[in-house]
Amino acid sequence: MKKLFLLSALLMFCCDDDTDCFTVIDKIISDGEYILVGDFDTSNSDDDGPLNGYADVNLPVSQEVYDTYDIGDKYCYD
């Protein structure tokens, strides 16, 4: 029983959460590619857009994902 507990504890602490999340600040279609433009931290930005006017990520996604998310939504990926 003690070994099972130690194994469970080890697995909980060793598993790394590789999920990154950002706020969608723009959506573009370029050369048939669907792209979500995002900012990882919009907490210090004003209402006019991303922090310092720059995006942190331009992530190509499927059309289904592109159509599912709107500007202002949080998007997480692995």
pLDDT in tens, 25-64: 999 999 999 999 998 875 555 555 545 556 789 999 999 9
Q: Which residues of the chain form beta strands (DSSP E)?
A: 20-30, 33-39, 57-61, 74-77
Q: Is residue 23 part of a domain?
A: yes
Give the closest residue to 76 by CA, choosing from 16, 18, 13. Answer: 18
Q: Is residue 21 part of a domain?
A: yes
Number of structural domains the chain divides into = 1
Q: What is the mean pLDDT of residues 7-15?
A: 46
Q: Is residue 65 part of a domain?
A: yes
Predicted pLDDT at 32: 95
Q: How far apart are CA 74 and CA 25, in angstroms?
A: 9
Predicted TM-score (pTM) of the model is 0.63
Q: Determine the residue type at 11.
A: L
Q: Is residue 1 part of a domain?
A: no
Give the closest residue to 78 by CA, choosing from 22, 18, 36. Answer: 18
Q: Which domain, by its residues, includes 41? A: 17-77
Q: Is residue 6 part of a domain?
A: no
